[in-house]
Chain A
Amino acid sequence: MSAVASHTVPSAALRFARGINVGLAVFLALYGTIAVLQPGYFEVEGFLNFLRRAAPLIILACGQLFVIAGGGFDLSMGSLVTLTVLGGSMLAGGNPENTWWTIGVLYLIGLGVGLVNGLVVTLLKVPSIIATLGMLLSLNGAALMWSGGAPRGYLPENFRALGRLVYRDVPVTGIMPLSVLILIGFVGIAAWLLHATVFGRQVLAVGDNPRAAELAGVPVGATRVLVFVISALSAVTAGILLGGFAGVSTAVGQGLELQAIAACVIGGAQLLGGRASVTGAVAGALSLFALFTLLNLMGLPQPLRETVQGLILIAAVASSAWRMRRA
Chain B
Amino acid sequence: MNTATPVLSMRGIGKSFTGVRALDDVSLDCQAGEVHAICGENGAGKSTLMKVLGGVYRPDEGEILLGGRPVAFRHPAEARRAGISIIHQELSLLPERSVADNIFLGLEPTRGGLLDRAAMQGGARKLLERVGTRVHPDALVKSLSIAEQQLVEIAKALALDAQIIVMDEPTAALDERDAGRLLELVATLRREGAAILYISHRMAELKAIADRITVLKDGKLVATRPAAALTPAMIVRLMVGRDLADFFPPPGDPTKLGPAVLSAQGAGNAVLAEIALELRAGEIVGVAGLEGSGKGALGRALFGDEPFTRGRMTIDGRDGLIASPRTAIAAGIGFLSDDRKKEGIAPQQSLRDNVLMTLRAFAQRLLPPGSGAMARAAADRQLTEVDVRAAGFAQEIRELSGGNQQKVVIGRWLARDPKVLIFLEPTRGIDVAAKAAIYQLMRHVAERGRAILMISSDLPEIIGVSDRILVMHEGRIAGELKRGASEEDVMHLALGTGQAEAAA
Q: Which residues from chain A sit less than 8 Å from chain B, CB to CB?
A: 1-2, 4-5, 7-9, 12, 196-202, 204-205, 208-209, 211-219, 270, 274-275
Is the interface on chain B under 10, 10 to 19, 20 to 34, or 35 or more residues?
Answer: 35 or more
With A205-B353, A214-B325 in contact, is A275–B360 under 8 Å at CB?
no
- Name the residue of chain A whose CB is nearest to the CB of B391: A8
Inter-chain contacts of B342 with A (CB < 8 A): 209, 211-212
Q: Which 3 A-B pairs have the closest CB atoms?
A: A217-B361, A208-B346, A199-B365
A199 B349 Cβ-Cβ under 8 A = no
| Chain A CB within 8 A of B224 CB | no
B368 A204 Cβ-Cβ under 8 A = no
Least CB distance from A44 to B in Å reads: 34
Inter-chain contacts of A201 with B (CB < 8 A): 349, 353, 356-357, 360, 369
With A9-B395, A209-B345 in contact, is A216–B367 under 8 Å at CB?
no
Inter-chain contacts of A196 with B (CB < 8 A): 368-369
Q: Which residues from chain B sit less than 8 Å from chain A, CB to CB?
A: 303, 305, 325-326, 329-330, 335, 337, 342-349, 353, 356-358, 360-369, 374, 391-392, 394-395, 412
A208 B347 Cβ-Cβ under 8 A = yes
Least CB distance from A267 to B in Å reads: 16
A197 B369 Cβ-Cβ under 8 A = yes
Alpha-carbon separation in the docked complex, A207 to B293 (Å)? 33
B345 A1 Cβ-Cβ under 8 A = no
B366 A216 Cβ-Cβ under 8 A = no
A217 B369 Cβ-Cβ under 8 A = no
A205 B335 Cβ-Cβ under 8 A = no
Inter-chain contacts of A214 with B (CB < 8 A): 325-326
Alpha-carbon separation in the docked complex, A203 to B394 (Å)? 18
A-B contact pairs, 5 of them (CB 8 A): A198-B366, A198-B368, A209-B343, A212-B346, A213-B346
Main secondary structure of the interface of B (DSSP, over half): loop
- Name the residue of chain B whose CB is nearest to the CB of A210: B346
New A-B contacts (16) at CB < 8 Å, excluding given A9-B394, A205-B353: A1-B391, A197-B367, A197-B368, A198-B360, A198-B366, A198-B374, A201-B356, A205-B346, A205-B349, A208-B348, A211-B342, A213-B357, A214-B326, A216-B412, A217-B326, A218-B360
Inter-chain contacts of B365 with A (CB < 8 A): 197-199, 202
- Name the residue of chain A whose CB is nearest to the CB of B363: A198
- Name the residue of chain A whose CB is nearest to the CB of B326: A217
Inter-chain contacts of A9 with B (CB < 8 A): 391-392, 394-395
B374 A275 Cβ-Cβ under 8 A = no
A215 B343 Cβ-Cβ under 8 A = yes
A198 B305 Cβ-Cβ under 8 A = no
Alpha-carbon separation in the docked complex, A275 to B412 (Å)? 21
Inter-chain contacts of B343 with A (CB < 8 A): 209, 211-212, 215
A215 B346 Cβ-Cβ under 8 A = no
B369 A198 Cβ-Cβ under 8 A = yes
Least CB distance from A72 to B in Å reads: 16
Alpha-carbon separation in the docked complex, A197 to B368 (Å)? 4
With A198-B365, A202-B365 in contact, is A212–B345 under 8 Å at CB?
yes
Least CB distance from B301 to A in Å reads: 14
A208 B349 Cβ-Cβ under 8 A = yes
- Name the residue of chain A whose CB is nearest to the CB of B337: A215
Inter-chain contacts of B303 with A (CB < 8 A): 215
Inter-chain contacts of B368 with A (CB < 8 A): 196-198
B367 A204 Cβ-Cβ under 8 A = no
Alpha-carbon separation in the docked complex, A5 to B350 (Å)? 14
A5 B391 Cβ-Cβ under 8 A = yes
Least CB distance from A324 to B in Å reads: 9
- Name the residue of chain A whose CB is nearest to the CB of B329: A217
- Name the residue of chain B whose CB is nearest to the CB of A205: B346
Alpha-carbon separation in the docked complex, A219 to B392 (Å)? 29
Inter-chain contacts of A197 with B (CB < 8 A): 365-369
B391 A216 Cβ-Cβ under 8 A = no
A274 B346 Cβ-Cβ under 8 A = yes
Inter-chain contacts of B344 with A (CB < 8 A): 212, 215
Inter-chain contacts of B349 with A (CB < 8 A): 201, 204-205, 208, 274
Inter-chain contacts of B329 with A (CB < 8 A): 217
Alpha-carbon separation in the docked complex, A56 to B431 (Å)? 53
Alpha-carbon separation in the docked complex, A218 to B353 (Å)? 13
Inter-chain contacts of B348 with A (CB < 8 A): 208, 270, 274-275
